[in-house]
Structure 1
């Protein structure tokens, strides 16, 4: 009898992030107002939106549900900057930056997503955020392939 659990490599059959066919990333500039950020998040139905500095370097992300809760509770003003409410990315020796590119194997992405809500897909030099990948994207991929 075969084991039900599959190794990640078998589940994704050697596929890479590019095979997910993710839409281009949507991100916010650090100086964007939260009212505009919420409007854009609502239009696109995004739960998490990356925040980038003026050089397009990722600073953190907006958790849309948490921001809406703060807004409704009166803790956030419409013209406040998204940087006041973003979750900052932690980069240090104990939390090194993991580079996820279009060529990253899906098995590696799956492992990363075991510990993170989403992954920013960047170019190899991390100069451009190309897409945002989630566990749901992986599940959709597996469903489409029938694996």
Structure 2
């Protein structure tokens, strides 16, 4: 059936990304700043200080091998801090949101070569995406819906 339709078409086929509002762009095209992440054993006093210096609301938390364990929700931590429920010397691992990895919630690999359409789909269910290398050994950047919106505005799409 598809070949009959193609035989009657008189113009060239559309590129693969014709329906893609990102025009085939990938995460690398977002030109994200390098990621800022914290080791799991960092004191929360330092974490809050660094988060506010950089104006970040979520910060990836890494293990001793620099693999992502979870993330720190800075606003939630600040609330606990102000309520006296967190001590300055407490470690961020005690307050981080652990990534849920299971068969029902598999790890979604987001790399610099991930198409923006896939990133957009991922961000429909997540606040942000951690961009890693293929081996998940290094956190390269953090991407948000805002980054996608800025990209579209910059490109006049």
Structure 2 counterpart of 1:11: 21
Q: How does 1:119-134 map to 2 (within 5 A)?
A: 119-134=129-144
| Bigger-Rg structure (1/2) | 2
* CA-based RMSD: 1.3
**Cα distance in 1 between the residues matched to 2:80 and 2:32:** 30
Name the TM-score, length of structure 2 as normaliser: 0.88
**Which residues of structure 2 form unaligned runs of 5+?**
1-16
- What's the CA shift string for 1:90-116, capped at 9, x where partnerless? 100000000000000000000000000
**Cα distance in 1 between the residues matched to 2:145 and 2:35:** 16
Query: Are the counterparts in 2 of residues 9 and 107 from structure 1 also a CA contact under 8 Å?
Result: no
**Cα distance in 2 between the residues matched to 1:133 and 1:33:** 25
**Cα distance in 2 between the residues matched to 1:26 and 1:123:** 15
**Cα distance in 2 between the residues matched to 1:146 and 1:121:** 24
- What's the CA shift string for 1:1-54, capped at 9, x where partnerless? xxxxxx995210100000000000000000000000000000000000000000
Q: 1:71 aligns with which of 78, 81, 92?
A: 81
Q: How many residues align?
A: 141
Name the TM-score, length of structure 1 as normaliser: 0.94
